Structure 1
Amino acid sequence: MTTSTELRPPHVIDETVRLLTEQYVFPEIAEQLAGLLQRRLTDGAYDVDGAEELARLVTADLQSINGDLHLSLKYHADPVPPKEGAAVLESIRREFDTSLGGAPRVELLDGGVAVLELAPMLFPLEWTAEALSAALTLVSRAQALIVDLRSNRGGDPDTVAFVCSYLLDKRTHLNTMYWRAGDRSEQSWSLPHVPGARFGGSKPLYVLSSDATFSAAEELAYDLQQLGRAVVVGERTRGGAHPRKGWTVHPHLEASIPTGRAINPVSGTNWEGVGVQPDVPCAAADSLDHAHKLALAQLAG
């Protein structure tokens, strides 16, 4: 990695190719992409002066074979530190501090139906556990719950499991993650105990989705849907199921490389490329009203 702010596309491409080859969860695709990037470099496609433009061009090529939206060369306007993952943590910390810890809205609607918005991300659990516990405990007394993920861009799988733990009655297998490193699998389960009170696993639960809902937010919707615990209302989500890590390859550029893939224990697959399909399709802007009416009807029934 260069410590100079001078943009040297050959160095950026060499580093990105190296990371792809060593880290990408699909080695065969990594080999194809490495060849593509090297050919494009030789052809002069990356002969640009600006890091932002290079990021745009390389990202388009990285996503051209299998459409993996987690695979990218990310541009950061402010210089980012070289430590693995530091670019993402630094950028999202500011959002955490201005979003009440990722739970910006708790509201009680007519009929005892609560709304809990989780946005803009499911932040790292060590940051957000206190805020989420408070919000989830507050809505635990509601007769029905609507979890709004329409503006949620993803986040931490451990936080997904933490939220699910408040919405289920017993310890449940939620997801399995396959990691290329070590050729190993790791299961994700809801927690046997939570701080605060659970909403539980029997009262009506709805999840709102949009075409902006992504990554770990999709996992939350998908896990609850596959378990038969929640009804998803809204739009098909973006379709990103591969957890990623980030490496700084230039002071303003971060190579985002998926290092694993999700395997749901119910469906045996995941939402990569296809998104989470809503149980009740409608425009995202109308989904809250739809879910509220559905919840009231279910309670009345």
Structure 2
Amino acid sequence: MNKIIFLLSMLLYTQSNYSQKKETLNEVDKSLLVSNIGQLLIQNYIFEELAFKMKESIDKQYKSNVYSKIVDPIKFADIINKSLNEIYFDKHLYVQYNPMLATELIESEKEEQEEEDSISTYREINYGFSNVEILYGNIGYLNLTSFVSDDEEGLKTIESALTFLQYTNALIIDLRTNTGGSPDAVAAISSFFFANTVHLNDSFDRSLNRLTEYWTMPEKANVILTIPIYILVSDKTFSAAEEFAYNLQKLSRATIVGERTAGGAHNTFVKPISADFVIYIPYGRAINPITKTNWEKVGVQPDIEVASESALEIATTKIVENLLLNTTDEAEIFNLNWQLDLLKAKHSILNLDLETLNNYAGMYDDKIITLEKGKLFYQRIGKPKFELEPMKSNFMKPKGNNYFKIEFVADSNKNIQHIIVYYKDNRKEKSIKKSI
């Protein structure tokens, strides 16, 4: 059922495209809607006491004619949501005018067809795996936009992505645009990060008075990644994505980088209120086995709190810095420092003035550096020419080439005397400046 509900929410129905739009509401419509919303809340909403208060609130406002002049169905949904939020602001709870979805839910009896439709939709979004790559410095990067399924094809997708990344130095999982999905998918992906069976989370279903436990399943993982994990989050990260970050943080398995997340810890399904309206109702709440609470309203607090747009830069830099702290091999230290300098240069764009660039131009033994249309170029005689970009005020590197970098060495009057070309294989060459 969770898979079907998630599919329906992923279809992105827009209010301007409803084919069966009801233009106006009459008093009978509104009375029925208010009554049905109240009953659905009492039967299902995770906090029973609040459900009664919400029902009492909308009943009272209806009887007081607060809704009497509202005939537009979209505005009616808006004012009902406002009434519910005044009792308790739950980001998962809302009423929506959506005839297409309401009809689909009412008429949907063929579970087999729904399952086929959901699989088709999962394939279209590649089971949430929008980007898998290896960043400079052998850092794995996974952009996960949703947690959709732990079915056979979903597991194959997870396996393929994580098998590709298993030999990286660390893994970055980007959840900055991930707004949630299935807790089963959260458990499935988490299973690739623990060698033993681990208790991740519990979910209490109020309507059924039932507690569901979620554990890792290492027997289903074809590879276990033991490398450090960094999870990128933003204030848009929501629901199941928050669970994933929260679980791994509390298990000391991941470092969270970015902004405090949105704060939605309730399991939700969607039900029809009428032929034109639906309601998204949180019916369950997460209970972490370690903290005995969850991230509802408070969000997940990052270990490293930075603006979300800087999270990738900070995470990659922190990974290399931590690798440096844990090695004594001189060759590896040189290589990591090389990577760190390049990372810092990549994320700290430096613009040098024309006077400085002109001072750098000249002939250096068998190397020539020229200033052309405001850009600096490097060329060894008889070899290809490279455009240079600044790393620091006195360091440049060839654009698109990470194999060497150039230091410009000046005298006390700031006149360039020579350059030193450093190579990734630990060689270096000094060349004296011959002319300007």
Q: TM-score, normalised by structure 1?
A: 0.89
Q: 1:281 to 1:16 in 2, by over 3 A?
A: same
SS of structure 1 residue aligned to 2:273 = strand
SS of structure 2 residue aligned to 1:243 = strand
Which of 87, 110, 129 is matched with 1:103 structurally?
Answer: 129
Aligned-pair distance for 1:64? 2.1
Which of 187, 204, 207 is matched with 1:181 structurally?
Answer: 207
Aligned-pair distance for 1:34? 0.4
In structure 1, C-alpha distance between the alignment counterparts of 2:253 and 2:135, rounded to whole Å: 21
SS of structure 2 residue aligned to 1:193 = helix
Indicate if the aligned counterparts of 1:134 and 1:196 stay in contact, CA closer than 8 A.
Answer: no
SS of structure 2 residue aligned to 1:181 = coil
SS of structure 1 residue aligned to 2:56 = helix
Which of 172, 191, 195 is matched with 1:146 structurally?
Answer: 172
Q: Which runs of 5+ in 1 are unaligned?
A: none
In structure 2, C-alpha distance between the alignment counterparts of 1:58 and 1:252, rounded to whole Å: 15
Which stretch of the first structure deviates more once superposed, 174-183 or 103-112? Answer: 174-183
Query: Aligned Cα RMSD in Å?
Result: 2.5
Which of 168, 182, 186 is matched with 1:156 structurally?
Answer: 182
Q: What do the CA deviations read for 1:246-282 (whole angstroms, capped 9, x no partner)?
A: 1011344211111111110111110001000011000
In structure 2, C-alpha distance between the alignment counterparts of 1:261 and 1:69, rounded to whole Å: 13
Which of 57, 61, 82 is matched with 2:105 structurally?
Answer: 82
In structure 2, C-alpha distance between the alignment counterparts of 1:75 and 1:237, rounded to whole Å: 28
SS of structure 2 residue aligned to 1:298 = helix
Which of 234, 238, 255 is matched with 1:214 structurally?
Answer: 238
Q: 1:223 to 1:38 in 2, by over 3 A?
A: same
Please show how residues 10-159 of structure 1 align to structure 2 within 5 Å: 10-47=31-68, 48-76=70-98, 78-80=100-102, 81-83=104-106, 96-119=122-145, 121-126=146-151, 128-159=154-185
For 1:237, the aligned partner's letter is T
For 1:216, the aligned partner's letter is A
2:259 equivalent to 1:238 = no
Partner of 1:296: 320
Q: What do the CA deviations read for 1:176-200 (whole angstroms, capped 9, x no partner)?
A: 1111133221211011312432223
In structure 1, C-alpha distance between the alignment counterparts of 2:196 and 2:55, rounded to whole Å: 45
Q: 1:195 to 1:266 in 2, by over 3 A?
A: closer
For 1:183, the aligned partner's letter is N
SS of structure 2 residue aligned to 1:266 = coil
For 1:247, the aligned partner's letter is K
Aligned length: 294
Identity of aligned residues (%): 33
Aligned-pair distance for 1:110? 1.4
Aligned-pair distance for 1:51? 2.7
2:192 equivalent to 1:166 = yes
Aligned-pair distance for 1:234? 0.2
Q: 1:101 to 1:78 in 2, by over 3 A?
A: same
Partner of 2:285: 261
Q: 1:83 to 1:97 in 2, by over 3 A?
A: farther
Q: 1:268 to 1:13 in 2, by over 3 A?
A: same
In structure 2, C-alpha distance between the alignment counterparts of 1:118 and 1:84, rounded to whole Å: 33
SS of structure 2 residue aligned to 1:247 = strand
Q: Which runs of 5+ in 2 are unaligned?
A: 1-19, 326-436
Q: 1:85 to 1:296 in 2, by over 3 A?
A: farther
Aligned-pair distance for 1:109? 0.9
Indicate if the aligned counterparts of 1:82 and 1:251 stay in contact, CA closer than 8 A.
Answer: no
In structure 1, C-alpha distance between the alignment counterparts of 2:107 and 2:286, rounded to whole Å: 22
In structure 2, C-alpha distance between the alignment counterparts of 1:77 and 1:89, rounded to whole Å: 22
Q: Which has the larger radius of gyration?
A: 2
Indicate if the aligned counterparts of 1:84 and 1:247 stay in contact, CA closer than 8 A.
Answer: no
Structure 1 runs (4+) deviating above 4 angstroms are: 4-7, 83-86, 88-95
Larger RCO, structure (CA 8 Å, separation 6 or more): 1
Q: What do the CA deviations read for 1:143-199 (whole angstroms, capped 9, x no partner)?
A: 100000000111100001011111122110001111113322121101131243222
